[in-house]
Structures are given as structure tokens and as C-alpha cells.
């Protein structure tokens, strides 16, 4: 195990963040926001544990495969533990399926995927269990940003490389080996920029249904959107409450918003599609209209298949994508680590945004049947 870890660290070339995934987003939505997306240099292992950038071995000069690959006891099968957030949303289901379809036995993996049901303690326990089993690699989609130092130290002591995926954590980048995910602050900025463009100076009284408290996806989207809101004195955020990224949570929060603010709001921002479905149910029940022909502008994040169907139908005005298809990038990082080659310390999966028919935007693609047909998840 120790030999493999050393090979991994020496092979960690300090390369710039790359963009993977769907692509096609316009420059405004793709511009990384430096303060939430880990920069390549912050995600790289600390100088004392890895060769500096300029001396990091190139892929072809990396330690021979036998220092890395042949440490696997079971004839080349790579064991991977994935501590998954839970099953709170359609995005999450798509992400889980993507890992299950990628880390297959045919592809040479043994995947242990643990659904942590949005419970931090369960997630820490899952990671400790992976360490106890001496799995080859650990992938964590962290529920919250906080609380990772001790268990990451334990993984490091055991010599097991850790990849943080989907969301971000507070821990120093030297505590893990690679990061793969999306720029959620940028998603929030895109939502804000689109709203400003759409309203063209008109007043906005905004209600926000946030994601899980303490999750980087929540913090990033809120920070990005609030940054744009701060530059619009004609906007007011009336309230912001967590719907926990679930449909039931979105409905519950929207019902209570309607009680407190009926007749006072014209914009609802939901941090994911499932919350938006719940908010739509609550507004339907209260006779509040939304979408392109309604009284309330509805903004969502994720742009899953169903979310884009509602956008195509004009019920969601703007839907900012977050791409759940990340397992292929994680697998290529693991393959590089395993063969002792250079790998990307940070990979940013690109997102774009979509708006309902009848809306044109410099920040987003107008929905069509073809766009929806191309959306598998």
C-alpha cells in the first residue's frame, strides 16, 4: 500500500484544471469563479509530499507500472469505495447510475457504493469502513464541506488515495489526492445574470429554496446568486430556506413561503430540480401561476431530463445545468494513479444553462425538442 501511495504522489503532475463533460456552455457560464472552484495549485498535494510542478515526472517518466499496479492483491481488479451523498434527487440517481455503469467488473473494478442517506455520520463511517477493508481507492461525494480532516488523515495514514467528487470540502488540498466536480458558484452567477437580463431593470422580490445546509453546492449557488443580487438595488431577497435538495422539502418550504409572502413575490429560485417540482405543486395548490406565462419567474438548477421537460413546457423559466456524469473522469484519474502516470489534480466538469421557448439569452440555450432528446438523465 505504501509503495502505491508514493507512486501516486510522485506522479501527481501539477497540471491546470481542465474542462470535461458536456461542453458547449457559453463563455460567461463556463468562466471559473476562482474562490469556490479549487484552483489546480490548491488541489495539488502539498509541496512536502509531492514533487514540485516543474520536476513532476511526465507520464512517460512516471514510476514503472509495477510499483503501482502489481500491489493489487487480487490479480489486477481495482477496488473502489464510493461514499455517495444519498438518493435525494434525480441528479443523485443519475450520478449513482453513472458510477455503477463505469466502475464495472468488465472494466476491471470492484465498486462498493454506499448510499449515505444525507447523514454525515453514516458517510464518515462508510469511509472508515473502506479504509478498514484496505480498498485501493476511495471516492467521496461529501454531504457537507466541514468535518473531513480526521478521516482523511486516517486514509492518508493507510496509504489509500482519496478523490473528492461532485462537491467540495474545507480540508486543505494536501489531505486528498484529486478533485472532480462542478463550479456551483458559477451556476449561481449564471442564474443571477440571466434574471437581470430577463427583468431588464424591473423589481424582483425573490424567495430562495436552498439545498442541503452546509453542502458546497448550496453554498456556491447562494454565493454566486447573492453576488449578482447585491449589484441590483431593485432586487430584494425576501427569504431563503433549505429544502434539502428534495421534492418534499421544496414543497414544504414553498407552502410556508406562500403563507408568509403570498402576493409579495415574483421570483422563486430553487437550488435543484426536485425542489422546483415541490415548489410547483405548492404553487399549483395555492393557484399561483409561474413560468413564462405566469406571475412568478421560476429558476432551477441541475437541468435533469424532467427539469428540462418543464423548461421546454415553459413552467421553469431558466434551468442552470449541473452535470452528474463525472464517473468517467474519476475513472481516468484512478487509472492514471494506478499506472503511476500523471493525472489532473483538479477537473472541472462544465455546465451550461437553458431557458424556456420564447426566451433568448446570452447566458443560456433556448430549449427545443432536440435538446431534450439529447438529455439521457
Helices 2-11 and 327-339: angle between axes, nearest 10 degrees: 110
Please give the residues from 291 up to 310 whose contact with ligand GYE meets the rule CB under 6 A: 301-302
Least distance from ligand GYE to the Cβ atom of residue 304, Å: 8
Residues 320/300, Cβ–Cβ less than 8 Å = yes
Question: How would you classify residue 129: left for phi > 0, otherwise alpha for psi between -120 and 50, otherwise beta?
Answer: alpha
Between 86 and 340, name the residue whose CB sits nearer to ligand GYE: 86
Question: Using CB under 6 A, which of 136, 144, 166, 168 touches ligand GYE?
Answer: 166
Question: Using CB under 6 A, which of 29, 67, 89, 186 touches ligand GYE?
Answer: 89
Between 322 and 334, name the residue whose CB sits nearer to ligand GYE: 322
Between 232 and 305, name the residue whose CB sits nearer to ligand GYE: 305
Least distance from ligand GYE to the Cβ atom of residue 242, Å: 12
Residue 322, interface with ligand GYE (CB under 6 A)?
yes
Least distance from ligand GYE to the Cβ atom of residue 146, Å: 15
Whole-angstrom distance, CA of residue 182 vs CA of residue 38 = 10
Between 3 and 305, name the residue whose CB sits nearer to ligand GYE: 305
Residue length, the chain?
377
Residues 324/98, Cβ–Cβ less than 8 Å = yes
Please give the residues from 200 up to 229 whose contact with ligand GYE meets the rule CB under 6 A: 217
Residues 235/206, Cβ–Cβ less than 8 Å = yes
Whole-angstrom distance, CA of residue 257 vs CA of residue 251 = 10
Between 245 and 257, name the residue whose CB sits nearer to ligand GYE: 245
Least distance from ligand GYE to the Cβ atom of residue 91, Å: 3
Report H helices in the chain: 2-11, 27-30, 40-43, 65-68, 90-102, 120-132, 149-158, 184-199, 216-230, 247-261, 273-286, 305-312, 327-339, 369-373
Question: Using CB under 6 A, which of 4, 92, 315, 338 touches ligand GYE?
Answer: 92
Residue 187, interface with ligand GYE (CB under 6 A)?
no
Q: Between the CA of residue 370 and those of 179, 190, 225, 306, 373, what are the distances in Å?
A: 32, 23, 29, 14, 5
Dihedral in degrees, nearest 10, Cα atoms 30, 35, 39, 43: -130
Residue 88, interface with ligand GYE (CB under 6 A)?
yes
Residue 82, interface with ligand GYE (CB under 6 A)?
no
Question: Using CB under 6 A, which of 272, 319, 346, 347 touches ligand GYE?
Answer: 272
Question: How would you classify residue 54: left for phi > 0, otherwise alpha for psi between -120 and 50, otherwise beta?
Answer: alpha
Question: Using CB under 6 A, which of 245, 257, 265, 290 touches ligand GYE?
Answer: 245
Binding region for ligand GYE (CB under 6 A): 88-89, 91-92, 166-167, 217, 245, 272, 301-302, 322
Amino acid at each position: 500500500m505504501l509503495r502505491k501511495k508514493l507512486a501516486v504522489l510522485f506522479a501527481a503532475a501539477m497540471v491546470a484544471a481542465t474542462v470535461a463533460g458536456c461542453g458547449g456552455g457559453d463563455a460567461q457560464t463556463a468562466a471559473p469563479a476562482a474562490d469556490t472552484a479549487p484552483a489546480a495549485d490548491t488541489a495539488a498535494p502539498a509541496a512536502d509530499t509531492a514533487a514540485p510542478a516543474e520536476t513532476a515526472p511526465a507520464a512517460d517518466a512516471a514510476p514503472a507500472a509495477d510499483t503501482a499496479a502489481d500491489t493489487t492483491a487480487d490479480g489486477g481488479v481495482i477496488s473502489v469505495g464510493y461514499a455517495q451523498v444519498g438518493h435525494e434527487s434525480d441528479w443523485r440517481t443519475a450520478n449513482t447510475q453513472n458510477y455503477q455503469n463505469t466502475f464495472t467488473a468488465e472494466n476491471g473494478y470492484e465498486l462498493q457504493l454506499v448510499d449515505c442517506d444525507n447523514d454525515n455520520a453514516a458517510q464518515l463511517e462508510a469511509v472508515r469502513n473502506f479504509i478498514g477493508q484496505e480498498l485501493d481507492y476511495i471516492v467521496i461525494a461529501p454531504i457537507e464541506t466541514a468535518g473531513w480532516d480526521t478521516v482523511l488523515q486516517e486514509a492518508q495514514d493507510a496509504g489509500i488515495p482519496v478523490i473528492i467528487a461532485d462537491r467540495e470540502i474545507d480540508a486543505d488540498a494536501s489531505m486528498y489526492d484529486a478533485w472532480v466536480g462542478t463550479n456551483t458558484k458559477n451556476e449561481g452567477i449564471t442564474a443571477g445574470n440571466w434574471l437581470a437580463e430577463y427583468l431588464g431593470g424591473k423589481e424582483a422580490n425573490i424567495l430562495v429554496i436552498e439545498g442541503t445546509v452546509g453542502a458546497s453546492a448550496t453554498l456556491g449557488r447562494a454565493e454566486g446568486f447573492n453576488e449578482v443580487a447585491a449589484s441590483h438595488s431593485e432586487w430584494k431577497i425576501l427569504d431563503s430556506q433549505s429544502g434539502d435538495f428534495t421534492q418534499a422539502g421544496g414543497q414544504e418550504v414553498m407552502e410556508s413561503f406562500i403563507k408568509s409572502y403570498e402576493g409579495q413575490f415574483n421570483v422563486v429560485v430553487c437550488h435543484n430540480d426536485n425542489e422546483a417540482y415541490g415548489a410547483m405543486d405548492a404553487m399549483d395548490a395555492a393557484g399561483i401561476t409561474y413560468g413564462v406565462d405566469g406571475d412568478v419567474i421560476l429558476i432551477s438548477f441541475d437541468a435533469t431530463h424532467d427539469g428540462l421537460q418543464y423548461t421546454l413546457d415553459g413552467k421553469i423559466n431558466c434551468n442552470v445545468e449541473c452535470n452528474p456524469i463525472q464517473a468517467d473522469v474519476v475513472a481516468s484519474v484512478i487509472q492514471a494513479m494506478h499506472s503511476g502516470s500523471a493525472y489532473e489534480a483538479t477537473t472541472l466538469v462544465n455546465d451550461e444553462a437553458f431557458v424556456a421557448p420564447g426566451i433568448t439569452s446570452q447566458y443560456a440555450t433556448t430549449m427545443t425538442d432536440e435538446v431534450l432528446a439529447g438529455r439521457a438523465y
